[in-house]
Structure 1
Amino acid sequence: MNTVLSFHQGRLPLLISMPHAGLALTDVVRDGLVPPARSLPDTDWHIPRLYDFARELGASVVAAEYSRFVIDLNRPDDDKPLYAGATTGLYPATLFEGEPLFMDGQVPTADERATYLERIWRPYHDTIRRELARMRKEFGYALLWDAHSIRSVIPHLFDGKLPDFNLGTFNGASCDPELAERLKGVCAGFPGYSHVLNGRFKGGHITRHYGDPAQHIHAVQLELAQSTYMQEVEPFAYREDLAQPTQEVLRGLLEALLGWARERYGR
């Protein structure tokens, strides 16, 4: 199995996680996918490129190399459902549109999936855990931004068109409510985009598991509508004309996150 993640350590107490940006497949998964899945349509496309300013900002960045079709890094290792209604699990069985992901008889075995858990899922979460612990030890607090994107219209998962910026704080449990309001204010300052807090996407396993305001770890998930920066159908092309103004909002959100923390903690 090749490299399972990329990691850059920054100088500020902010970690950006990109669990669904990976494109790599194991041979077993690649050979078993149904034809519509082979283009990896449910990928959080181009997220590392969209956040390419984050390193300059001083953030640490961890990004998955393997596709969520192998194993979903934003699900708990016991595979308990995170959302009521249609969703995907630790080992996805369907595409976002509800169709089967694998051809008949081609689903990875339990032993294969156990290997994915140990060699892909655990290293990613070990990296998050270590980096948050380092930041908290050095600065007294840590900030976690879980960066996602999704097609703006997926009838099987949600009604209508998704807002552009979908902030999730697990209904206020993963970060200080004042921080969440600060982030909403940033979004409101860009009226060309729609936004919501704790709508359809309230934060997945990463946000829920690591966010712990009482221990000074504040976690936020952003589910970004892909219509804000790319072509949502194949070939899933990055669109610089859309991405540049969207990056202004993203930078504003991350700067607000850091600014709030400096005010709160004094460093």
Structure 2
Amino acid sequence: MSPVEVHRGSSPVVLGLPHTGTVVPDDIRACLNDEGMKLRDTDWHIDLLYEGLLPGATTVRATFHRYVVDANRDPGGASLYPGQATTSLVPLTDFDNQPIWRDGRAPDDAEVARRVKLFHAPYHAALAAEIARVKAIHGVAILYDCHSIRSRVPYLFEGILPDFNIGTDGGRTCDRLVELAVRGVCETADGYTSIVNGRFRGGWTTRHYAAPGEGVHTIQMELAQATHLASEAPPFAYDETRAARLRPVLAELLRRLEALAPALKG
């Protein structure tokens, strides 16, 4: 199994997909408990949701599950949200704070380092290479990191999550035009709610690759799963009707980002 799938395009937009993978190698799967085996915290069907929305976009997708190692966490283990509940580089619990490993089978430091080398590092090597490639072509690269999460996760946040959660780390990861373009589409999308830099301000990927002064602009989109799933519980089925309503909004958003590229080079 390759830890990463890359589909190269000609657009300045790169789609990162770190959490749609569901592959868990047998030796790691044997260590998961019954709760962990559910893979509940997958970004379910996000790859399908975005498929074909911007034909020229490059996609970089992790095939491994986030319980193997989280591709959107600092490989050094630093917390993504210091002082707030979150999961780690190799999670010990799920988003409901339930243990996911069998007793005595949680990964130690050596095992975490092994997984970083085998999975996390190849994914980011591929992502970095594609960002560099499209920047060399266009003089600018826009990384749009694709995510989703259940609308209600009391361990991580109170109440119901907005539909569109835009993260730019307080405006630090991209030119203001990028944030305004995404915000504008989301705020005017009929029947949807949105927020900028709320509970999800952009993960490690968004922050790590951001270099707007050098032509690399990054932004994270965390979608509430109620926007495209039939249910936010097993089997987490894709809802064609909900997705058909959402996809044109996402397509317009990506088209606007692509159209911004010339203005970002100046």
TM-score, reference length from structure 2: 0.96
Deviation per CA, 1:158-196, whole angstroms, max 9, x where unpaired? 000000000000110100112211211111221310000
Q: Which position in structure 2 is the counterpart of 1:59?
A: 57
SS of structure 1 residue aligned to 2:213: helix
Counterpart check, 1:241 vs 2:230:
no
* 1:111 Cα deviation from its structure 2 partner: 3.0
8 Å contact from structure 1 (residues 14, 144) kept in 2: yes
Q: Which position in structure 2 is the counterpart of 1:257?
A: 257
* 1:57 Cα deviation from its structure 2 partner: 2.1
Q: Which position in structure 1 is the counterpart of 2:154?
A: 155
8 Å contact from structure 1 (residues 28, 108) kept in 2: no
Q: Which position in structure 1 is the counterpart of 2:34?
A: 35
Alignment of 1:117-128 (within 5 A): 117-128=116-127
8 Å contact from structure 2 (residues 10, 134) kept in 1: no
* 1:94 Cα deviation from its structure 2 partner: 0.5
Q: Distance in 2 between the 1:119 and 1:142 partners?
A: 27
Alignment of 1:128-207 (within 5 A): 128-207=127-206
8 Å contact from structure 2 (residues 140, 264) kept in 1: no
Aligned Cα RMSD in Å?
1.2
Q: Which position in structure 2 is the counterpart of 1:73?
A: 71
Deviation per CA, 1:80-106, whole angstroms, max 9, x where unpaired? 001131000101011100111112111
* 1:14 Cα deviation from its structure 2 partner: 1.1
Q: Distance in 1 between the 2:157 and 2:112 partners?
A: 28
Counterpart check, 1:82 vs 2:109:
no
8 Å contact from structure 1 (residues 207, 221) kept in 2: yes
Unaligned runs of 5+ in 1: none
8 Å contact from structure 1 (residues 29, 107) kept in 2: no
* 1:27 Cα deviation from its structure 2 partner: 2.1
Q: Which position in structure 1 is the counterpart of 2:218?
A: 219
SS of structure 2 residue aligned to 1:147: strand
* 1:114 Cα deviation from its structure 2 partner: 2.0
* 1:156 Cα deviation from its structure 2 partner: 0.3
Q: Which position in structure 2 is the counterpart of 1:108?
A: 107
SS of structure 1 residue aligned to 2:86: coil
* 1:52 Cα deviation from its structure 2 partner: 0.8
Unaligned runs of 5+ in 2: none
Amino acid corresponding to residue 131 of structure 2 in structure 1: L
Residues 27-36 or 250-259, more deviating: 27-36
* 1:42 Cα deviation from its structure 2 partner: 0.2
Deviation per CA, 1:103-138, whole angstroms, max 9, x where unpaired? 211113433322211111111111111111111111
SS of structure 2 residue aligned to 1:131: helix
SS of structure 1 residue aligned to 2:190: coil
Q: Distance in 1 between the 2:236 and 2:137 partners?
A: 40
How many corresponding residue pairs? Answer: 264
Residues 178-187 or 74-83, more deviating: 178-187
Q: Distance in 2 between the 1:260 and 1:93 partners?
A: 41
SS of structure 2 residue aligned to 1:57: coil
* 1:32 Cα deviation from its structure 2 partner: 1.6
Q: Distance in 2 between the 1:30 and 1:126 partners?
A: 25
Counterpart check, 1:9 vs 2:19:
no
SS of structure 1 residue aligned to 2:219: strand
SS of structure 2 residue aligned to 1:32: coil
TM-score, reference length from structure 1: 0.96
